[in-house]
């Protein structure tokens, strides 16, 4: 846990002469611009509310309201007790451009599928484009044929289904239609950085619960439920970034924890689907009326399909589909029909089986090589390894100097977290791994 630093003099940027608009929105806008331009550094503690309010000659409530606005945009984290500090995802997004164009760089941040392991789209798209009435406006939440194709592999029977434009869009649509700004959402910690940003952008208050080997930490979950969250979000298998999965017993225990008058939605986000070896043990087996299962088909069948399927109780799907109709009208029938064709095609099934095997070999080989070099990694599924370190900034800097770019772990935590770096394995050839493992292990003193 980060300790609050002792009181220090106000920085120059916080002097009254620098802040032209001292309303809560004016202060928030001024500080947000400093964060975006680097005038206030990532991790820097902001002045105490009472100290800054005296300097600006405003009420403490005005400064607190400004910090609240910045928290909703994901720019600040912390409380008055531990101190408010900068924790912006914006810096990460901007930083992606720096190393992506550097020649000779091994970029191990982005957990993308290998293009050589994706099924071909040509036959699927040709057939899909011949649908009748294709140029008519469309209302149903999912093509009936696609629903029939996905139901056999769904983790538990669902009353209704809808299709969204990718995994992030599905999460956004479910939360947008089932929450209001300020609502609390229990979220696994760590998780995928873009999902943290998405929820903060919706104005939601995040309640982190550690994700352990086997699933959400039950004791922490029970404590979090006391805050009366509107939803509980986690990845049931191939969890990013840890590579762990939820066991059947843990799914049942989560369901038992939720039996009571307060009934938050359980949102399960299955990012890899058929590419993972682990079984999807779902809370929907025990609480079907409260559970939403989101399965993305982007990494398995093609990123440009931009497809994810949502399965849930009829009222949840009705609300979610209404949100989709309001903002995007519908998800392309051509793409839905193409996915249906691939799900029912034996040749495509063979491609998916091969991809699952290759991804597993890459993950297992890289994990074994790192463990052989004394680095504690435990992932058993997925596209990345979660490496504990002593100082993630120093480690990431040293790795970059050696031509290896890793994602710093801080962006994966919705609150305080322990230092880590995330290493993507999905596009790394097995023959390249020993050299990369040597480079990572050579960062002596950086690993926990």
CATH number at residue 76: 1.10.10.10
Average pLDDT rounded to a whole number, residues 115-130: 92
Q: 448 to each of 212, 324, 376, how far by Cα in Å? A: 18, 45, 8
Judged by average pLDDT, the poorest of 1-10, 58-67, 125-134 is 1-10
Q: Report the pLDDT value the prediction gives residue 347, as an integer from 0 to 100.
A: 96
Q: 147 with 234, same domain? A: yes
Say if 123 falls within a structural domain: no
Spatial separation of the C-alpha atoms in residues 190 and 209, rounded to whole Å: 8
Q: What percent of the chain has pLDDT over 70?
A: 92
Is residue 325 included in any domain, yes or no? yes
388 located within any domain: yes
265 with 367, same domain?
no
Number of domains in the chain: 3
Q: What pLDDT was estimated at residue 8?
A: 60
Claim: this prediction has a pTM higher than 0.85? no
Q: Provide the domain limits for residue 337.
A: 132-344
> How confident is the model over 137-164, as a mean pLDDT?
93
The residues that bridge with 311 in the sheet, in sequence order, are 161, 293
| Same domain (yes/no): 202, 274 | yes
- What are phi and psi for residue 106, nearest 5 degrees? -90, 100
Q: What is the largest CA-CA distance in the chain?
A: 71
Q: Is the Cβ–Cβ distance between 424 and 384 less than 8 Å?
A: yes
- pLDDT tops 50 at residue 134: yes
Sole residue written with tokens 């009420």: 59
The answer to whether 362 and 425 have CB atoms below 8 angstroms apart is: yes
Q: Is residue 7 in some structural domain?
A: no
What integer is the mean pLDDT of 138-142? 84
CA distance 445 to 395: 9
Rounded to an integer, the average pLDDT of 60-71 is: 87
Q: Which of 65-74, 98-107, 175-184 comes out lowest in average pLDDT?
A: 98-107
Question: What rounded mean pLDDT belongs to the chain?
Answer: 88
What digits encode the pLDDT tens for the residues 12-47?
A: 888 888 888 888 888 887 888 787 777 888 778 888
Residues 247 and 100 in one domain: no
pLDDT at 384 over 90: yes
SS3 content of the chain, % helix, strand, coil (to 5): 45, 15, 40
Distance CA 206, CA 381 (A): 26
């Amino acid at each position: 846990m980060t300790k609050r630093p002792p009181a220090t003099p106000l920085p120059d940027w916080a002097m009254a002469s620098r802040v032209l608009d001292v309303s809560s929105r004016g202060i928030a806008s001024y500080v947000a611009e400093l964060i975006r331009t680097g005038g206030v550094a990532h991790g820097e503690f902001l002045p105490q509310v009472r100290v800054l309010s005296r300097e600006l000659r405003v009420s403490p409530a005005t400064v607190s309201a400004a910090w609240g606005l910045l928290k909703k945009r994901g720019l600040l984290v912390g409380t008055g007790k531990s101190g408010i500090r900068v924790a912006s995802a914006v810096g990460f997004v901007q930083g992606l451009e720096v190393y992506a164009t550097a020649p000779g760089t091994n970029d191990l941040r982005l957990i993308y599928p290998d293009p050589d392991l994706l099924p071909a789209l040509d036959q699927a798209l040709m057939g899909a484009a011949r649908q009748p009435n294709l140029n008519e406006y469309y209302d149903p939440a999912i093509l009936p044929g696609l629903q029939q194709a996905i139901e056999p592999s769904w983790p538990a029977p669902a009353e209704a289904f809808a299709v969204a434009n990718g995994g992030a869009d599905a999460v956004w649509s479910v939360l947008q239609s089932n929450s209001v700004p300020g609502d609390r959402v229990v979220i696994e910690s760590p998780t995928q950085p873009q999902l943290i940003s998405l929820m903060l952008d919706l104005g939601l208050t995040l309640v982190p619960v550690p994700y352990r080997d086997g699933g959400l930490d039950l004791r922490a979950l029970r404590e979090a439920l006391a805050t009366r969250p509107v939803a509980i979000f986690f990845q049931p298998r191939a969890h990013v970034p840890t590579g762990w999965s939820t066991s059947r017993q843990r799914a049942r225990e989560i369901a038992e924890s939720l039996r009571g008058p307060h009934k938050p939605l359980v949102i399960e986000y299955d990012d890899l689907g058929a590419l993972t070896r682990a079984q999807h043990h779902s809370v929907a087996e025990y609480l079907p009326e409260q559970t939403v299962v989101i399965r993305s088909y982007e990494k398995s069948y093609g990123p440009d399909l931009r497809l994810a399927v949502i399965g849930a109780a009829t009222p949840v799907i009705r609300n979610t589909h209404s949100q989709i109709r309001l903002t995007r009208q519908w998800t392309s029938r051509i793409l839905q029909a193409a996915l249906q064709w691939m799900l029912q095609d034996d040749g495509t099934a063979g491609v998916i089986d091969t991809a699952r095997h290759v991804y597993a070999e890459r993950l297992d080989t890289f994990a074994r090589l790192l463990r052989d070099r004394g680095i504690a990694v435990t992932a058993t599924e997925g596209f990345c390894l979660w490496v504990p370190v002593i100082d993630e900034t120093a480690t990431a800097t040293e790795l970059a100097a050696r031509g290896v770019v890793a994602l710093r772990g801080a962006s994966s935590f919705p609150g305080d977290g322990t230092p880590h770096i995330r290493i993507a394995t999905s596009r790394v050839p097995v023959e390249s791994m020993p050299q990369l493992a040597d480079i990572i292990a050579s960062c002596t003193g950086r690993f926990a």
